[in-house]
Amino acid sequence: MSRRLEKLDAERQRRLFESAAAEFAAHGFDGASLNRILEKSGMSKSSLYYYFDDKADLFTTLIERSMAVLFKEIGGFDPDVLTTDTFWSTFEELYRRAIAVIDKNGWLVQFGGMFYRLRGDPKQGSATGRIFQAARNWVTLIVERGQALGVVRSDLPQSLLIDSTMSLLETLDRWVVAHWGELAAADKDAMPNKHIALFRNLLSADAGRAVSDNRP
């Protein structure tokens, strides 16, 4: 029943989402305390249950909202239009836009913190688990497209490639969030190229060949 939410006063929505995002990012889904979220946001416990079905509903709504904002601002894209020439540069451009968005919408930085913790959710088929899976599927599509184009290596198990990709994604996200304040404008400009290059180091077909060449 997240329809009700749309009628909630914008300011109170902001306060709630802010507290919730901070709490989820800090303690993960299971560890997060509704009480703490409510205390910070000033909302009453029963009001929260008026707008959300349960803890999981609050969390997934939060994630979905964040993703919706991200996608709208950055602009989604279709893996099928990627070509050998545009493959890496497309992601560089997306990265550039993502940075711009986060730079404006402060609270979105929490998104990563909330999101990546989902990996370990033991409850099969849980709402939180499904979100992570959806993102993983998306990365899978991209990796497969890259392999079809011959720009992504095929000499390693696909699951390993995908796990490594998501993991690097998380690392860079965390690193950027943690060091944002210390970065000069020039650093920020150079980041998309440098960071996408890391994915290329890891995933490109050349990387695979280089390795076997080095084999004694």
Partner DNA sequence: GATGAATGAGTTTTCATTCAT
Partner DNA sequence: CATGAATGAAAACTCATTCAT
CB of 200 to DNA, least distance (A): 41
Among 16, 43, 109, 118, binds DNA (CB under 7 A): 43
Among 168, 180, 188, 205, binds a copy of itself (CB under 8 A): 168
**Any contact of residue 14 with DNA (CB under 7 A)?**
no
Among 19, 55, 108, 117, binds DNA (CB under 7 A): 55
Among 47, 90, 147, 164, binds DNA (CB under 7 A): 47
Q: Alpha-carbon distance 102 to 216, whole Å?
A: 46
Task: Give phi and psi for 152, each to the nearest 5.
Answer: -110, 140
Tell me, residue by residue from 105 to 144, as one string, x for binding to a copy of itself by CB under 8 A and - for no binding.
--------x---x--x-x----------------------
Interaction partner, residue 139 (DNA, a copy of itself, none; CB < 5-8 Å by kind): none
First CA to last CA across the chain, in angstroms? Answer: 61
Answer whether 119's CB lies under 8 Å from 165's CB.
no
Choice between 32 and 98, CB closer to a copy of itself: 32
Q: Alpha-carbon distance 88 to 196, whole Å?
A: 7
CB of 119 to DNA, least distance (A): 20
**Any contact of residue 46 with a copy of itself (CB under 8 A)?**
no
**Any contact of residue 123 with DNA (CB under 7 A)?**
no
Among 45, 123, 194, 209, binds DNA (CB under 7 A): 45
DSSP secondary structure letters along 157-187: -HHHHHHHHHHHHHHHHHHHHHHGGG--HHH
Please, where are the H alpha helices in 32-157? 34-41, 45-51, 55-74, 87-104, 109-116, 127-149
Q: Alpha-carbon distance 82 to 88, whole Å?
A: 9
Answer whether 127's CB lies under 8 Å from 109's CB.
no
Q: Map the footprint of a copy of itself across residues 16-35, applying CB under 8 A.
A: 26-28, 30-31
Q: Alpha-carbon distance 94 to 100, whole Å?
A: 10
Interaction partner, residue 50 (a copy of itself, DNA, none; CB < 5-8 Å by kind): DNA
**Any contact of residue 207 with a copy of itself (CB under 8 A)?**
yes
- Residues near DNA, by CB under 7 A: 4, 7-9, 12, 32-36, 43-47, 49-51, 53-56
